[in-house]
Structure 1
């Protein structure tokens, strides 16, 4: 027999608990154990007036943003709708059944105001790193660094050759942000090369085709991770160019030491960080072993001796050629000392014309020149150290573990849906990257530290 038609009847009273309706294994319940925003409230207190109408609770907005970035909800308008309807989201936001959800425009007002002025999103991210340190998830011995391109919210078909060609109506928020970072080494001052095109919507984004496909406007998110459990120790937004990414690496290492007192013994990175200047900075200024491949430009293909065939004598500061002769920087003393370093940071070591002229190996060494010359960087010591490290088993381990940072970027784009920015300008990119890294660290904590089951009575 067919059942009766179901008719919803409103009851006068309900006995309902959000706590009982959120499963124990729900992601937000597992994350909630690590979200303590007491420090955030105190951090924001100076940015609120003591008088006037009470504002929307900043903790509520931050919890809503965490839901959005942890679960890949990219639209703030949709986020407000989801929090309004989803019981687990209401529980995480401490709203209850009757709590009002703020309008989506509130996020924009606070993002451009109190949140940005107080750098609260940076502080929120650092709280997750502190918790990872407290829980023993950070080894502190080996770090890895890398960068990934994230498309900007800019139409690739709407670009102009230079800032002078930007329309006057665009000279507001986007152009002001662009002008503010022109002297920043992570943005405008990263390179003297002018970009081919500048976006009208987001002038600070970089026109790039680094991925090998069609060019587009993008920013770079830079991660510094600990290799023990791939905890993100720091994150930095830069323009999409290698020089800026090397600058970000230095800033993140310095900030990690200053903020958390953690300094790695080794740093794993790809060839984008192989410059002699960067290797020297790591070795001589920071005492970090560079587990970074060194690109060799001195190898010859015409059959003559390469620089690797010459032996450098550190004590006497000279090279010994395959024929046993000396190549010296200077063969006489000058009344005024000379550095002998050119504008590229290179020094020239020369053999004597007499030695080369009578050498039986001249045809294999310098057949068209009267004497052999060898170039050496002022940072060659750091490069030599990187070459020696590349021959060790530890380097092979670092090269394998370095893939952890690439896996984080894959998770960022595929799971958290951050393959394209929604906010514009350097500050918008910074906010999104910080929130995404915060979400990834929280998910890491929830995965590696399951809740302890309550003991049952025997």
Structure 2
């Protein structure tokens, strides 16, 4: 039988509780346990005037941003509409049924002002990380590092050749931020090689063809994670070039030590972090085992002996060639003081029957050796061990986080421009991923039966 027609009837009184209408298994209910913004509010206090019209509650804006980044809502205009309509979002933001949702322009005004002046989003990430540490999800014994390219909000077809420089009309906020970071190792000073093209809309975005397809403008999101539960220990935005990623890795390791007293015993990474200088920094200065593939281009392809065919005698500090002859060094460093040259005697090389396979076009053979070769040997030994094989598997946890970042959180392309825009987005995304991990690992306590 067809039921009666529903007719709207006004009621004089309602008994309605948002809390009872949010499902117990809802993601925001699981996350809400770990969101404590009281400290952030105190840090923002000096950036507000003591008189004048009351501003929008900063805690409300941060909670709305957490919703957006946790649930992949990329547009702040759409985020405001969703919070206005969704009961669970209103509950998480403490708005009630009649609370007013701020206008989307409020986010932009605060982001370019108070949020960046106080480094609020960095503090938000560290607050979430501190909760992860307090819950025992960060072991601190083994870390992994990696970077991933994130497309910038810049049209690849509107790039100008770097030799021509920025056009006079490029006076945007992103252009001013680019000029401010020209001397930073993470951006302009990462390499002396200029990019092929520059984007007038976002000059700090790097023109790159690293994915093998069409080149595009991008930034790099650098993650340092703990290997126990893949908690993001630190995050850094850099230009899309390998030298900047190595610099970011050093910064993140040092910062995690200063801020949270974390002393990892090992660091896992791909060969991009396996330069001699980086391995030497890890072993000799930080005391960290390098579970990293060594970046080595010493293998020859012309059929002559490679450096690996020469045996190094550490007690005597000499190399021995395949014929058993000795190569010595004067101790003079070359290549910016990072390399020693070991040379054989001309009287040994000239009559040697292996000369055609060793140095056919030179009177004697010379072998370069990095001053960090001991750290490189240590990394090679670790790579051949079972522990090294385990680290290579665990290192994929970073790549899984980047896949989650792009596919689930929808951060495959930046929405904000400039170095500060990239930093803001990466800090919020990393905080959201850590919050989701907390909610996944630590179940919601079930109420005990009466």
TM-score range, shorter chain: over 0.9
Q: Residue 286 of structure 1: CA displacement? A: 0.7
> What is the 5 A alignment of 1:19-34?
19-34=19-34
CA–CA separation in structure 1 for the residues paired with 2:329 and 2:68:
61
CA–CA separation in structure 2 for the residues paired with 1:428 and 1:278:
28
Do residues 400 (structure 1) and 397 (structure 2) align? no
CA–CA separation in structure 2 for the residues paired with 1:449 and 1:340:
55
Moved over 4 A (4+): none
Structure 1 unmatched runs, 5+: 331-337
C-alpha contact 1:206 1:217 (8 A) present in aligned 2: yes
Q: Residue 362 of structure 1: CA displacement? A: 3.5
C-alpha contact 1:163 1:198 (8 A) present in aligned 2: no
Relative to 1, partners in 2 of residues 1:322 and 1:162: Cα closer, same or farther, differing over 3 Å? closer
Relative to 1, partners in 2 of residues 1:368 and 1:168: Cα closer, same or farther, differing over 3 Å? closer
TM-score with structure 1 length normalisation?
Answer: 0.95
CA–CA separation in structure 1 for the residues paired with 2:261 and 2:4:
69
CA–CA separation in structure 1 for the residues paired with 2:255 and 2:179:
25
CA–CA separation in structure 1 for the residues paired with 2:230 and 2:337:
37
Do residues 206 (structure 1) and 199 (structure 2) align? no
> What is the 5 A alignment of 1:244-393?
244-330=244-330, 339-343=332-336, 345-393=338-386
Relative to 1, partners in 2 of residues 1:321 and 1:166: Cα closer, same or farther, differing over 3 Å? closer
Do residues 451 (structure 1) and 444 (structure 2) align? yes
Q: Residue 446 of structure 1: CA displacement? A: 0.2
Structure 2 unmatched runs, 5+: none
Q: Residue 384 of structure 1: CA displacement? A: 1.2
CA–CA separation in structure 2 for the residues paired with 1:150 and 1:344:
35
CA–CA separation in structure 2 for the residues paired with 1:372 and 1:400:
40
Q: Which residue pairs with 1:335 in the alignment?
A: none
CA–CA separation in structure 1 for the residues paired with 2:335 and 2:163:
35
Do residues 441 (structure 1) and 438 (structure 2) align? no
Aligned residue pair count: 450
C-alpha contact 2:234 2:252 (8 A) present in aligned 1: yes
Q: Which residue pairs with 1:124 in the alignment?
A: 124
Q: Residue 107 of structure 1: CA displacement? A: 0.3
Q: Residue 363 of structure 1: CA displacement? A: 4.0
- Choose 168-177 or 447-456, whichever is displaced more: 168-177
- Choose 276-285 or 306-315, whichever is displaced more: 306-315
> RMSD value over aligned CA atoms?
1.5
C-alpha contact 2:174 2:419 (8 A) present in aligned 1: no
Q: Which residue pairs with 1:333 in the alignment?
A: none
CA–CA separation in structure 2 for the residues paired with 1:71 and 1:443:
10
Q: Which residue pairs with 1:54 in the alignment?
A: 54
Q: Residue 175 of structure 1: CA displacement? A: 1.4
- Choose 180-189 or 269-278, whichever is displaced more: 269-278
Q: Residue 361 of structure 1: CA displacement? A: 3.7
Q: Which residue pairs with 2:108 in the alignment?
A: 108
> What SS does the corresponding residue of 1:109 show, helix, strand or coil?
helix
Q: C-alpha offsets along residues 392-430 of structure 1, whole Å, 9 cap, x if unaligned?
A: 101100000111000000100110011111111000010
CA–CA separation in structure 1 for the residues paired with 2:326 and 2:168:
65
Q: Residue 140 of structure 1: CA displacement? A: 0.8
TM-score with structure 2 length normalisation?
Answer: 0.97
